[in-house]
Amino acid sequence: MGLGIIYALAGGIVWGLVPPLVKRGLVGSDVDAAVTIQQVAMVPFLVLVWIVGYDGAGLPVPLPAVVTFVVLGAVGAFFGRVFLLRAIDQVGASRAQSIKNASPLLTTVIGVTLLGETATAGTFGGVIAIVVGILITHVKTTATEPSAPLIGFVNAFLSFAFYSLGPILKRLGVLQGGDPIVGALITQITGLAIIFLAGKVLRIRIVFRGVPLASTVCFATSGVVHAIGTIFTFLAVVHAPAVIVGPIWNIQPLVTFALAHFTLKGIEIVRVQDGVGAGLIVGGVFLLAWV
């Protein structure tokens, strides 16, 4: 259990580095380039980790686990990530990450309304904290402050919906006999395959040429960092239940807010209220999970 919590903390910290890198890369490029380059960088890195650091172990993977990892790749590595990157471009790294990481709210609502689960005082407190945190990130502080586009918040909420399935699918794939490193690789290969096979249908342009070097470096670095975080979260669910470690790696918004505040000056308006909102959302997630 303790090792799982350590991996979850590491995953949350590492994943929190990704949005500021993406936002900085978007200064000279667009979301389609970010999606393409980030995903292309992830897969070779994970292959290298699997072969060099893991001696190519973990095969064969049981078919049920393969199916679970492929589904995870579709909902998380592709749809969840695409909507998140769009939200980062439209409403900023800090706000997009905070809303995306409120995903346990959806799990709780489904459990109480559809599955008849019992709502405790901690449940109500967690829901209120998350909702207030989201509202705080949405409200303008001054009349002259530019309004964030509504579509940006829609994309953030779509990312939140898809990513809410991630911890459970990771845990399920591992329990079905899947290796965590191979699972991470299958997940990201699935995301890459969807980009190349169905990118046009899903209005994702495959962009390599014409991307400034600085943007390419930011996107590729964010892909490698994201892959490292993915490995940590897969290892976390090997050593502890998803309901325990999932909320822990949702500390990402706090890391993102701190980095955005210090590294995105002149690129993104980072407000104190965004940090307060991120703190409320993270606190609400812990209340939902553990009280």
pLDDT per residue as tens digits for the range 221-270: 999 999 999 999 999 989 888 767 877 887 888 888 888 888 888 787 77
Give the CA radius of gyration of the chain.
18
Of 35, 25, 77, 21, nearest to 208 by C-alpha is: 35
Nearest Cα to Cα of residue 48 among 224, 215, 195:
224
Is cis: bond before 167, omega within 30 of 0? no
Q: CA-based angle 146:149:150, to the nearest 5?
A: 135
At residue 116, the pLDDT reads 65
User: According to the model, what pLDDT value does residue 200 have?
Assistant: 81
The predicted pLDDT at position 291 comes to 59
Q: Which stretches of the chain drop beneath a pLDDT of 70?
A: 104, 107-108, 110-119, 138-147, 243, 288-291
Model's pTM, two decimal places? 0.84
For position 211, what pLDDT does the model report?
93
Q: What is the pLDDT of residue 187?
A: 96
pLDDT at site 34: 94
* Residue 257: predicted pLDDT: 86
pLDDT of residue 52: 92
Domain regions of the chain by residue span? 2-290
